[in-house]
Amino acid sequence: MTVATAPALLDLKGDFPGLAGDWAYLDTAATSQKPFAVIDAIARVYGPDYATVHRGVYERSATMTLRFEEARATVARFIGAASPDEVVFVRGATEGINLVAQSWGQRLAAGDRILISALEHHSNIVPWQMLCERSGALLDVAPLTDDGRIDEDALIAIIRPETKLVSIAHISNVLGGVADVRRIADAAHSAGALLMVDGCQAAPRLALDMAALDCDFYVLSGHKLYGPTGIGVLWARSDILESMPPWQGGGAMIETVTFEKTTYAPPPGRFEAGTPHIEGVIGLAAAIDYVESIGIDRIHAHEAALVAQARKALAGLNSIRLWGPEDSAGILSFTMQGVHPHDIGTILDEAGVAIRAGHHCAQPLMNLLGVPATARASFGLYSSPRDVERLVDGLARVSCIFGVK
């Protein structure tokens, strides 16, 4: 990339009160900092605007209900859904995957197969293991390429007539590789299988279009998208949602209730039992508005430039091993010879640099890589070249302390 074509880097730290002071926050893949726009939106919900939704006939409740459903429409537009009715609000991607496993998964039987990849987050492994234990279905695992991507050729070769579902990460939360979702969707559908996509790391940095991806389920978590914790999205094609039974009972998900029989609301209400996370939904919509005001393509280009800067700087250190593909999206995992990642994280924290150190809820991947853990620097739209410089300086201090070169 020449200077003439290099994208202008973003300078947005001032929008994030959590970044006040001299702090290099490089743990956005775990959870993002929140802009004033989101915090203010939540404060308004809890303050002068507060009322319940879908229940009251008084004006404030009706107004809040309207805002709540407008937020659903905002999410639908952001991900390219055909209709807001395809958007189910859940507590996060983990709950979205569990919802599918417990509702749609009721149709699986002994001998059916579910296919995942070797780099999946525990949330995209454990629910399927539990489903297999209940149903007698079998779990298949696709390998990785040498540079840490899903080996899509191998994955497609594993798909067979018994495969009912393929479930993969759009972007790995450890290695940062981007999957070719459409290619995998085409292969799954050709075999009569459905495709679930974990979009937690993709939603903050890639333009999403459910029709173009042609997947069947897509999940994301609001707190990774500069929104609140405790709110997420399950998107599914409307015909699939219509065929799925409810997974929780209670208020809001019903049509009629008698002691003899209950009938259920159509989707998405069927899957949203109880009083919803009103402030979370409104805060998520505010986060999406904020991201869209900047531009998702600008955000992706900004993060790509920072990853390239970090990879170039760290590649010159013999003691550092970089994991994942060269074009990893917003995420850079590494290890240092002779130093545990927890020690790296602790020493960097003393220098005001926050990274993640551990197995990143991907223990099978760590076993495959042959390491107990990695250190992970992950970038957001508020990250800066100075953050990368401080990371590199901090790692030089780590190497000095431990006597490695």
Q: What is the mean pLDDT of residues 309-330?
A: 94
Query: H or E element: which one contains 113?
Result: strand 113-117
Separation of alpha carbons 235 and 106, rounded Å: 19
Instruction: Count the Cβ atoms, other than its own, within 10 Å of residue 20.
Output: 9
DSSP state of 13: G
In the chain, CATH 3.90.1150.10 covers 13-30+296-402
CATH 3.90.1150.10 fits 13-30+296-402, yes or no: yes
Residue 298 structure tokens: 């600008």
Report yes or no on whether pTM surpasses 0.85: yes
CB of 405 within 8 A of CB of 319? yes
**What pLDDT sits at residue 7?**
56
For the CA atoms of 61, 62, 65, 69, the dihedral, rounded to the nearest 10 degrees, stands at -170
φ and ψ at 147, to 5 degrees? -95, 10
- Considering the segment(s) 38-293 as one domain, its CATH architecture is 3-Layer(aba) Sandwich (3.40)
**What pLDDT sits at residue 56?**
84
**What pLDDT sits at residue 182?**
98
Counting every residue written for the chain, the total comes to 405
Residues annotated as part of the active site: 361
Q: Which contacts of 1-8 are long-range, i.e. CB under 8 A and separated by 24 or more positions? A: 1/305, 1/308, 6/305, 7/298, 7/301, 7/302, 7/305
Give 4's pLDDT tier (boundaries 50, 70, 90).
Answer: very low
pLDDT over 70, % of the chain: 98
Alpha carbon 150 to chain centroid distance? 17
For the CA atoms of 221, 30, 103, 281, the dihedral, rounded to the nearest 10 degrees, stands at -20
